[in-house]
Amino acid sequence: MKTYKTSSIRNLLIAGHAGSGKTTLAETMLFESGTIRRRGSIIEKNTVSDYFDIEKEKQKSVFSSLLHLDWRGTKINLLDTPGSSDFSGEVISCMRVADAALFVLNAEQGVEVGTEALWKRAAEFGLPSLFVTNMLDSEQSDFQNCVDMAKERFGREVVVVQYPFSEGSDFHAIIDVLKMTMYEFPEGGGKPDKLPIPESQVAQAELMQNELVESIAENDETLMDIYFERGELDEYQMREGLQKTILKRQIFPMFCTCASRNMGSGRVMGFISNNLPSPADSQPELTLEGEEVPVSPDGKPVLFSYKTYSESHVGNLNYIKVIGGSIKQGMDLENKRDGNIQRLGTVSMNQGQKRVDIAEAMAGDLVVTVKLKDVFAGDTLAEKNNEVQLKPAVYPEPNIRKAIKISEGQEDKLGAALNQLQREDPALHVEHSQELRQTILHGQGEEHLAVVYHQLSNRFGLDVDYITPRIPYRETITRTYKAHYKHKKQSGGAGQYAEVYMLIEPWQEGMPNPDELNVRDVDEHDLSWGGKLVFQNCIVGGVIDNRFMPAILKGIMEKMENGPMSGCRARDIRISVYDGSMHSVDSNEAAFKTAALMAFRDGFMKASPQLMEPIYEVEIVVPARFMGDVMSDLSSRRGQVQGMDSEGSIQKIHAHVPLEELDQYSTKLKSMTQGSGNYTRKFSHYAAVPRDIQDRVIRENLETEPA
């Protein structure tokens, strides 16, 4: 198998909204390049990508696939990614190692919400990008609308390189304004005839070519001078200008395809080969410290693992990008995360599910190696004396959660399965909550967690159910109260005696000390569950020995962790211990702990306790036509709109919504918006719950408390 030089490698991410035809385009590119002899289809469930059973069942991509093809001596690695926002973690892993992105637009729908979200991510990675408007044979195809929407959303840097001669059922030819040629395809697709541009289209083609040339020239002073002097650029100057401007994200070319009929993919591959950057020409890698590491075949061997997966008969597969030097089977490299030495197993090129072993992989290539132990996505492998650790990808915050109910006796097996799934999918968060007494999965959407459920059931053979997760409420107080408790116990031998007086107050930043108390010591405790406990020693005259203060604090903390009102954790309280008494024989730490706990419990319940709920900051992105339904639904969920932004036909709503109202929101939003809406969320603050919810939570807590 041929070993490709770094300069002859292109790493291309294929991205876009669900249903835009990404997998079909990838399949067509493999076929047109001669890599496969027969094109598969989504309907027939035989594409090179989408080979998992669940992908065949859903007829959509769930996992990313690594493919490769040779186009006239250039190796193009294709990263075919899912279009649903539920699987954005798969896309981000691939963006981390791609050197350019190809965004596929549905000719009927134009720029959809999912495309915009992925575009922002690609911009964060600094990926040079181009567009393909696909499905131009659709009855409702509207190429100009796609162009207008793309320019509106992504800027005037979007430039047309090709446009369709005709659209809909009559689509059969593409006019290329870079080559000033018309490509006319046979009925069954394939290799087109190169024809002169029809007279009726010459003026339009020349106008678009001028726009393209001006876009190239205006970003390069030398080319601009030549353009002003001659009124044109030759083919070499155009190619040189394109390469520079694409790399700097100053131009985003747009092409035309009908992937299902094998029309247009060859020209796209030629453009990728000639104009997109090789790994060595792309932005350098960054270390955790922010230092640049160029992709270079002359450097020391450095690998970056961007994805892992475990196959039953093979073991762990690590999808890696070679950053420096070259790699071969049997090399010993150190995992810079844990310092463990790893010996490389077989190095392979991936073609979907199939792998072809290779002798060597050069810097810039995307390959797979097997049986590396404890090497996860985001890990860097390098020689022992090369202290380099590359920056991993950052994944989006989850927006849905489900608790797991497991059959008795399968707990250990569940733990191992979740550990494996979390290694393979960094966008999945697993929480073992002692507070809520549940194992909770946090994912990117209903479909994401449905795939996790499918894997737990079918791949790991577990009998699981999803149930509604509990809400991590918090308790606090709203007024001041002086509490007192005397603990006195005599049982034949040594007794127990402790008496504590405490002032319980709602805590606020910067609040003054109580006027009537002499504050001697102040301990501020940032609670692990959020908020504060401020503990003040105001004892005078030695009525309570200082050695008992830690026990008093311990009693208070114990009750705060299992709040007096509902069993939920308490926060934002100031306690001032100002009086009490002790016995020279019967007082001990246990007695003062009990007295403090009881005084705090009784005082808390008389200080107007209030239940607090977590509030999340939510950004909802939807097409404008669904705004009314979304706003109405938000109101029913106790949401408070904080603001709205408009970007063309796409609307963004910023709101604060209680967590309790968000557990099924991902599904509801997709239902309201015909699958086109999505949202992100992050924790904002705690706020008081309505009285009816507080009463319900207290009642449920009483019902579940052990007798």
Fold type of domain 611-698: Alpha-Beta Plaits (3.30.70)
Q: What class is the 6-275 domain?
A: alpha beta
> When comparing pLDDT for 585 and 68, which is higher?
68
Structure-block tokens of residue 116: 């915009």
| pLDDT beyond 80 at 86 | yes
Element containing residue 600 per DSSP (H, E):
helix 589-605
pLDDT exceeds 90 at position 674:
no
Return the higher-pLDDT residue of 182 and 698. 182
Q: Which sign, positive or negative, has the C-alpha torsion 506, 512, 516, 520?
A: positive
| Structure tokens given for 292 | 């640049």
Residue-wise pLDDT for 431-451, tens only, equals 999 999 999 999 998 999 999
Largest CA distance in the chain: 113
Two tokens, residue 87 = 């699987």
Whether the per-residue pLDDT at 707 is higher than 50: the answer is: no
pLDDT tens profile 176-231? 999 999 999 998 899 999 999 999 999 999 999 989 988 888 877 777 777 777 77
Comparing CA positions, the residue from 669, 668, 642 lying closest to residue 655 is 642
Task: Output the pLDDT for position 703.
Answer: 65
Q: Which of 220-234, 254-268, 302-316, 402-416 has the lowest mean pLDDT?
A: 220-234
Fold of 400-470: Alpha-Beta Plaits (3.30.70)
Q: Domain coordinates of the chain in residue numbers?
A: 6-275, 285-382, 400-470, 479-607, 611-698
**Is residue 363 packed enough to be buried (19+ CB in 10 Å), middle (13-18) or exposed (0-12)?**
buried
Q: 348: how many CB neighbours lie within 10 A of its CB? A: 19
Which residue blocks in 625-690 are alpha helix, DSSP H? 627-636, 665-672
Picking from 388, 157, 163, the residue whose alpha carbon sits closest to that of residue 286 is 388
Q: Would the pLDDT of 68 be above 70?
A: yes
The pLDDT value given to residue 705: 57
pLDDT value of position 541:
86
- Residue 304's closest CA among 387, 391, 371, 370? 391
Spatial CB neighbours of 466, under 8 Å, sequence gap ≥ 6: 402, 403, 404, 405, 449, 453
Task: Report pLDDT digits (tens) over 573-627.
Answer: 999 999 999 998 899 999 999 999 999 999 999 999 999 999 999 999 998 889 9
Least confident of 232-241, 281-290, 627-636: 232-241
As assigned by CATH, the class of the 479-607 domain is alpha beta
Contact 551, 545 (CB under 8 A): no
Helix (H) or strand (E) holding 159: strand 158-160
- pLDDT tens digits for range 457-509: 999 999 999 999 999 999 999 999 999 999 998 766 678 999 999 999 999 99
List the single range of 82-86, 228-232, 359-363 with lowest mean pLDDT.
228-232
400-470 and 611-698, same CATH topology? yes
Name the CATH topology of 285-382: Elongation Factor Tu (Ef-tu); domain 3 (2.40.30)
Q: Read off the pLDDT of residues 297-344 as tens digits, 9 standing for 90 and up.
A: 998 999 999 999 988 778 889 999 999 999 999 999 999 999 999 999
